[in-house]
Amino acid sequence: MHIVVCIKQVPKTLDVRVDPVTHNLIRQGMESIINMFDENALEEALLLREKFGGKVSVISMGPPQVREALRKALAMGADEAYLLCDRALGGADVLATAYTLAQGIKKLQPVDLILCGRHAVDADTGQVGPELAERLGWPQVTLVKRLECDGNKITAWRECEEGTAVWELPLPAVVTVGKEINKPRYPTPIGIIRSGKKPITVWEAKDLDVDEDKIGLAGSPTRVTRLFSPERTSHVEMLTGKAEEVARLLVAKLEEHKIQL
């Protein structure tokens, strides 16, 4: 079984602010980590490999420093790592990212299963997995909290408004997972040493069969027009009075904040 895990590198702390003058993001420290849910995706892939054999490849699109995240994935136990890295890929939104990843993954065929995180904690869209599935023409299941596989088909317990929906679908498929699905392992010292010998293959745009209009900024239909920090009340406002009075005051405040009652 060949499983591909899509990994995104994200900032370690989400405590970012927008500079009111320059409108640029101010990040407290620039440390990066693997998007939490992508570690769950990798763990699930490693568990499936333990059961069925085969190989786990990790792939990421991003700047050169993403090697660090890929290195960690190799240390956790992935067999091969691929980085799609090129200035021409910069500025990609979901549509362009999913297209580029799909073109990269096509070079890794045959692939039986693609695992993604349910969403990336920085941009927070959760759209790359389904858009990738569409590009490949494969079935998908998202927001998965439990997965079973018999080698040909998967059974997935997915979150839905009623509770849980149990879906069965044939491979190949794209699955996005949440953190209930497993507890990601830590890299072992042996794993870290071994990972040093595993190569990270870097592909530039010219190495991929990509259409120039479909990658990077040119291939991205969405445009960010403004970036700002939401207003926050930093000091507590005490509501005083008898129980009925404070209840009334509070409900009025909640309505001001557009909380649906």
Ligand X SMILES: Nc1ncnc2c1ncn2[C@@H]1O[C@H](COP(=O)(O)O)[C@@H](O)[C@H]1O
Interaction site with ligand X (CB under 6 A): 6-8, 35, 37-38, 41, 60-62, 94, 97, 101, 116-117, 119-120, 123, 125-129
The answer to whether 193 contacts other proteins (rule: CB under 8 A) is: no
Q: What whole-number distance in Å separates Cα of residue 54 and Cα of residue 113? A: 12
Shorter beta-carbon distance to other proteins: residue 30 or 261: 261
Which of ligand X, other proteins, none does 60 bind, CB closer than 5 to 8 A by kind?
Answer: ligand X
Which of ligand X, other proteins, none does 190 bind, CB closer than 5 to 8 A by kind?
Answer: none
Among positions 109-148, residues that touch other proteins (CB under 8 A) are 121-131, 133-135, 139-143, 145
Q: CB count, 10 Å around CB of 148?
A: 12
> x/- site string to other proteins, residues 22 to 41, per CB under 8 A?
---x----------------
β-pair type (9-11, 32-34): antiparallel
Among positions 62-101, residues that touch other proteins (CB under 8 A) are 93-95, 98
The tally of CA atoms less than 13 A away on the side-chain side of residue 162 is 4
80, amino acid identity: E
Instruction: State which of residues 19, 148, 151, 160 lies at the interface with other proteins (CB under 8 A).
Output: 160
Which of other proteins, ligand X, none does 192 bind, CB closer than 5 to 8 A by kind?
Answer: none
CA 9, distance to chain mean position in Å, is: 8
Shorter beta-carbon distance to ligand X: residue 4 or 149: 4
Ramachandran quadrant class, 195 (left: phi over 0; alpha: psi -120 to 50; beta: rest): alpha
Omega before 110 cis (within 30°)? yes
Instruction: State which of residues 62, 104, 178, 187 lies at the interface with other proteins (CB under 8 A).
Output: 178
Shorter beta-carbon distance to ligand X: residue 128 or 149: 128
Query: Looking up tokens 């700047």, which residue turns up?
Result: 63
Which of ligand X, other proteins, none does 121 bind, CB closer than 5 to 8 A by kind?
Answer: other proteins
Instruction: Identify the CA nearest to 3 among candidates 121, 149, 194, 125.
Output: 149
The answer to whether 162 contacts other proteins (rule: CB under 8 A) is: yes
The answer to whether 218 contacts other proteins (rule: CB under 8 A) is: no
β-pair type (140-149, 163-170): unpaired
Task: Specify the 3-state DSSP secondary structure of 180.
Answer: helix
